Amino acid sequence: MPMTPTCLEVSTAGGRRYPVEIGDGLIARLGTVLDSHGVGRRRIVVSTPAIWRLVAADLEPVAGPHGPVLIPDGERFKHLATVGRIYEALVRLGADRGSTIVAVGGGVVGDVAGFAAATFLRGLDLVQVPTTLLAQVDAAIGGKVGVNHPAGKNLIGAFHPPRAVVIDPEVLATLPRREFRSGLYEVVKYGVIASRELFDTVRRHLRAVFAREPSVLQPLIAACCGIKARIVSQDEHERGPRRVLNFGHTAGHALEAITRYRRFRHGEAVAYGMLAAAAIARARGQLAEAAADELAALLTELGPRPPVADLSARDALDAMRHDKKIVDGQLHLVLPVEIGRTAIVTDVTPAEMEQALRAVGLGP
């Protein structure tokens, strides 16, 4: 039975609001959906070859006669050279300030195409159409766009809120299990930072979640989007409350950087980061052992993660020195207090972090 679509709103610092529409079949009606939200008629679709093969039949009318701008996918292509390819296409197509970039793909596509939108002609309108679970529950919402630098993840970027976010859970039917699991790690993150109920829902209905049953999956996506919309509306530019969304990302980004973005899916690295943060909180007596064990058990139940025993905790610590969450020389780290609540601290020592990384399996 089809689920009733869900529509949320996110407020921006400039007083504007943008819709997040969630529902099966929205990609097939994307042109009409964008019309309903007042998105300009000159639309330039940015996607990847693999994604475009899956959605071309539905989105060719949106892309128009010139077709989509296709870029390579994967974290190792999330750099300025890929943005440059989009710029070249925009120039060739004669894009102007009335043009809208429609990013169709996972988090990398959304970030790279979004950064191009933020910077070409000092800003074009952007629509996010996320096609992975991770992008649907997290990356597409909030206006963060950017690319990686060899020294660290997302070091080059901007805040550029979209005109709209259109989420179609049906596209997840073809998502490989590993990519789907990567998104589930972010769902667990939302449970830990804000909702015991969400955490328990994942745990109780894991079989149905992996089966991608609409009656379970769409409400799960909507719950994550609702949490992020609320947090981002309070603190769009990450000066306070929004920092809780970085739970697991400090160590996670470091793991991605020291493996040159080739070993981990983003969610997998974040899972290790959540375990490291929980180890610190547990050692400090801030997190009960039972709660830490619950988190570890659920992450294990989701399935296997790439090994880390050959990685150096000290190398990961070095990568963290370039973390974009450092403010005035202090790293803001999110630690769990209980399932559903976290605290932001600035006094975690390198020794504590190294011990936590060793605890989750890294070498010296």
CATH number of the domain encompassing residue 20: 3.40.50.1970
Q: Is the domain of 355 the same as that of 242?
A: yes
Q: Is the domain of 249 the same as that of 349?
A: yes
What is the residue range of 161's domain?
A: 6-175
Q: Is the domain of 166 the same as that of 287?
A: no
Report the pLDDT value the prediction gives residue 228, as an integer from 0 to 100: 95
Report the pLDDT value the prediction gives residue 324, as an integer from 0 to 100: 60
* 3 state SS of 160: coil
| In-domain check, residue 327 | yes
Please check the confidence at residue 323 and state whether its pLDDT lies above 80.
no
Work out how many domains the chain is built from and give that number: 2
Determine the Cα angle at 224 with ends 49 and 181, to 5°: 50
Report the pLDDT value the prediction gives residue 2, as an integer from 0 to 100: 66
| In-domain check, residue 209 | no
Report the alpha-carbon distance of residue 186 to residue 24 in Å, rounded.
21
> Choosing from 43, 78, 144, 160, which is the catalytic residue?
144
Give the model confidence (pLDDT) of 134-174 as tens digits. Answer: 999 999 999 999 999 887 788 899 999 999 999 999 999 99
* 189 carries an active-site annotation: no
> Choosing from 160, 189, 249, 265, which is the catalytic residue?
249
Phi, psi of 292 (to 5 degrees): -60, -40
* 37 carries an active-site annotation: no
**What sign does the CA torsion over 207, 211, 214, 218 have?**
positive
Q: Is the domain of 14 the same as that of 94?
A: yes
Please check the confidence at residue 325 and state whether its pLDDT lies above 80.
no
Task: Specify the range with the lowest mean pLDDT, choosing from 219-228, 315-324, 326-335.
Answer: 326-335
Percent pLDDT > 70 in the chain is 98
Report the alpha-carbon distance of residue 230 to residue 338 in Å, rounded.
20
* 324 carries an active-site annotation: no
Task: Specify the range with the lowest mean pLDDT, choosing from 92-106, 228-242, 341-355.
Answer: 228-242
Give the model confidence (pLDDT) of 248-263 as tens digits. Answer: 999 999 999 999 999 9
* 238 carries an active-site annotation: yes
**Residue 290: which CATH number?**
1.20.1090.10
* 163 carries an active-site annotation: no
Report the alpha-carbon distance of residue 361 to residue 329 in Å, rounded.
28
Listed residue (115, 120, 32) closest to 71, CA to CA: 115
Phi, psi of 139 (to 5 degrees): -65, -35
Give the model confidence (pLDDT) of 295-321 as tens digits. Answer: 999 999 999 999 999 999 999 999 988
Q: Is the domain of 42 the same as that of 97?
A: yes
* 154 carries an active-site annotation: no
* 246 carries an active-site annotation: yes
Percent pLDDT > 90 in the chain is 88
> Choosing from 153, 189, 242, 332, which is the catalytic residue?
242
Looking at the DSSP bridge assignments, the partners of residue 336 are 342
Residue-averaged pLDDT of the chain? 94
Element (H, E) at 59: helix 49-63
Residue at a domain's end among 175, 208, 235 = 175
The burial class, CB within 10 Å (0-12 / 13-18 / 19+), for 304 is exposed
Radius of gyration of the chain (CA): 20
Q: How far is CA 179 from CA 46, 173, 271, in A?
A: 20, 11, 13
Looking at the DSSP bridge assignments, the partners of residue 10 are 18
